[in-house]
Amino acid sequence: MSLHFTRLSPALGAIVSGIDLAQPLDSARQQALSAALLQHQVLFFRNQDLNPQQQRDFAAWFGDLHIHPLYPKIEDTPQIMVLDTALNDLRDNAIWHTDVTFIDTPPLGSVLVARQLPEYGGDTLWASGTAAYAALSPRLQQLLEGLTATHDFTKSFPLERFGHTPEALANYEATRRRTPPVNHPVIRTHPVSGDKALFVSDGFTTRINELPPAESDALLAFLFAHFAKPEFSVRWRWQPGDIAFWDNRVTQHYAVDDYRPAHRIMHRATILGDKPF
């Protein structure tokens, strides 16, 4: 069966059909999906049935996997992070963010599987950093070239929400020591396509290092709002059996928190990337 891609928006997003992700991937299909990820930035798969081990194995075709320092994991498959509203405070997901930019080598991508969904609500939006960059004026693009920004995990993971027990506090403090704030370029170059993308997010970016605080705050506020424009985004309404696979190097996403008190469970595998330049 051949792969088929149905584009969802001008900026990004495509539905992939003609593949069962529970089956072992071969190199030809891995290469086809990698090429489609470059073109579409986020890929969606319907009617899939993967257990956590199969999800891990699929993601591992694209690189080594990250183990999140704070969120719970599947006990025998720690590469699969659990996003469960009954277990986690997930307010940090209801903000535009790029995953795990608080490390030196932020993820290449992520594979998200819907496990339990509310009857309605709980959509996720993705936005394209390349489209957001291309829409900036040449003068502003020139200004941003060469600037760097600080990314800090405490912006989305504050102590008061993730250090509420002695065990959680000890883990939080250890994570803080292992992951001090890091600097990344404000404009990132995709390591494969060479495309330039805006690489700051409201989730983890705290300041532009080369500017005074007032100027940094004003420019970041503009860039965060610019990135979130509907013209650069696609919105996905989850169904049971859905999987999303996105290029974390050039996208942000926002998990809409509009379904409480309904229960939502998602499993994520995160693929390690390289140092932004």
Q: Tens digit of pLDDT per residue, the chain (277 long)?
A: 689 999 999 999 999 999 999 999 999 999 999 999 999 999 999 999 999 999 999 999 999 999 998 889 999 999 999 999 988 878 778 899 999 999 999 999 999 999 999 999 999 999 999 999 999 999 999 999 999 999 999 998 888 888 878 888 888 899 889 999 999 999 999 999 999 999 999 999 999 999 999 999 999 999 999 999 999 999 999 999 999 999 999 999 999 999 999 999 999 999 999 999 9
**pLDDT in the model for residue 164:** 79
Say which of 56, 68, 188, 268 is annotated catalytic: 268
DSSP-derived secondary structure for 85-130 = TTT---GGGSS-B-TTTTSSS--SEEEEEEEE--SS---EEEEEHH
Catalytic, 268? Answer yes
Are 115 and 206 a contacting pair, CB within 8 Å?
A: no
Helix/strand/coil for 40: helix
Encoding tokens for residue 269?
């595998």
CATH topology of domain 4-271: Double-stranded beta-helix (3.60.130)
Catalytic annotation, pick one of 57, 92, 99, 247 = 99
Q: Which two tokens stand for residue 8?
A: 């969802």
pLDDT at position 161 = 83
User: Is 237 known to be catalytic?
Assistant: no
Is residue 68 annotated as a catalytic residue, yes or no?
no
Task: State the CB neighbour count (10 A cutoff) for residue 268.
Answer: 20
Whole-structure pTM value: 0.95
Q: Which of 56, 249, 253, 264 is catalytic?
A: 253
| For the chain, domain boundaries | 4-271
Report the chain's terminal Cα–Cα distance, integer Å.
38
Report pLDDT for 273.
97
40 is catalytic: no
Active-site annotation holder among 97, 207, 264, 267: 97
